[in-house]
Amino acid sequence: MIFVRGSDNDKKRQRMIDDQLVSRGVKDRRVLDAMRSVPRECFVRKENRNLAYYDGPLSIGHGQTISQPYIVAYMTELLDLKEHDRVLEIGTGCGYQTAVLAGIAREVYTIEIIRTLSEQAREKLRTLGCGNVRFRVGDGTEGWPEAAPFDAIIVTAAPGREPETLISQLAEGGRLVVPVGTFEQYLYRIVRTGEDTASEKLIAVRFVPMTGEIEKGNA
C-alpha cells in the first residue's frame, strides 16, 4: 500500500473520497483506502495539478486521459479484489489506476500500447515505492497469456464486443470489468464459473475505443 501524508493534497483527497465516491455509493473500504493513499496529483500533467481532484477526466497527452476518480473507484470496486489476487490491467495510461490496484492486490500485470506512457508510469510507481507491478508495452487485446489465469482483469479501452481472449484468461471465479460498445458504451462485469460466464450490463460510459489490434488505454 502507498501512503502519502502531510500535504495540503490530503484534504483535497479526503474531499474527493467523501464528495465524489462515498456520496455516489462506493463502499468497499479497501478501495476507499487505496484511493485515499495514492497521490493523484503525481499522475497528472504539471499544468493540471491544481485540478488533480477535479470530478472528471484530464488529459495526460497522446490523446489519452486520466479517468474521473469515481470511474476508477467504481471499476475497482466491481473487481471485488482480495489481497492475494493477481490482476491484469489493459491500458496502463498514466499509472493511476495501476497504483490503486497495486494498493489492494498481491500482483498487478499492466499492458500499455504507447511506450512513452508505459515508461512514465513505471517511473512514477517506482518512485512511490510500488513494487508489485509488472509492465508490458504492446497490444492489450491479447492479454498476458503466459501469466494467466488472473483473479481479475480490468480494461480501460472499449472493444466492440465482449473480449473472448481476455475472458479465457480468467481464473475460476475471476472477474472482468470492461467497457463494451462503439457509439454507445456500457460497462460490463463478467464472472467466470467453470466453462460458463455470467455477464452483467451496468452504467453507460465513454472510453477510448479498442479497434482491431490497436488499443490505447485510459488510466
Catalytic residue IDs? 67
Give residue-wise pLDDT tens across range 107-144.
999 999 999 999 999 999 999 999 999 999 999 999 99
Residues whose CB falls within 8 Å of the CB of residue 132, separated by 6 or more in sequence, listed in order: 102, 105, 106, 107, 108
Q: Which domain range does residue 130 map to?
A: 9-215
Count of the separate structural domains present in the chain:
1
Q: Is the pLDDT of residue 145 over 90?
A: yes
pTM of the shown model: 0.92
The proportion of the chain whose per-residue pLDDT surpasses 90, expressed as a percent, equals 87
Asked if the structure places residue 91 within a domain, the reply is: yes
pLDDT at 5: 52
**Does residue 146 carry a pLDDT above 60?**
yes
Confidence bin at 210 (pLDDT 50/70/90): confident
Which CATH number goes with the domain that contains 127?
3.40.50.150
30 within a domain of the structure (yes/no): yes
The per-residue pLDDT for range 39-68, each reduced to its tens digit, is 999 999 999 999 999 999 999 999 899 999
The answer to whether position 167 is within a domain reads yes
Domain-embedded: residue 174: yes
User: Where would I find the H helices in 128-178?
Assistant: 164-167
